[in-house]
């Protein structure tokens, strides 16, 4: 399989092309995991027990001062 393209809509959505869905073995209701490395993003099927950490992208809130300020929440 060569390069496969999709477009991003005005709502920042895209359709994962059929060839990619088949290769990953994903369908409706499945979860995907995105791994960012430099300017490259890899997508893989997330394991059923995959726990998403909603704060993983907010590294600007990961200082020692923030940890102390929000430790009791």
| pLDDT per residue as tens digits for the range 17-57 | 999 999 999 999 898 999 999 999 999 998 876 566 665 55
Residues in CB range of 24: below 8 A, 6 or more apart: 32, 43, 44, 45
Of the two residues 58 and 67, the one the predictor is more confident about is: 67
Contact assessment for residue 30 and residue 45, using Cβ atoms and an 8 Å cutoff: yes
First to last CA, the chain: 49
Phi-psi region of 12 (alpha: psi -120 to 50; beta: other; left: phi over 0): left
pTM to 2 decimals? 0.59
Q: How confident is the model at residue 71 (pLDDT cuts 50, 70, 90)?
A: confident
Q: How confident is the model at residue 59 (pLDDT cuts 50, 70, 90)?
A: low
Residues in CB range of 55: below 8 A, 6 or more apart: 61
The confidence score (pLDDT) of residue 53 equals 64
């Amino acid at each position: 399989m060569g390069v496969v393209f999709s477009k991003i809509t005005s709502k920042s959505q895209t359709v994962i092309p059929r060839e990619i869905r088949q290769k990953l073995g994903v369908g409706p209701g499945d979860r995907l995991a995105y791994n960012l490395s430099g300017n490259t993003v890899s997508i893989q099927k997330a394991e059923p027990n995959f726990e998403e950490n909603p704060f993983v992208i907010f590294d600007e809130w990961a200082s020692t001062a923030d940890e102390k300020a929000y430790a009791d929440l």
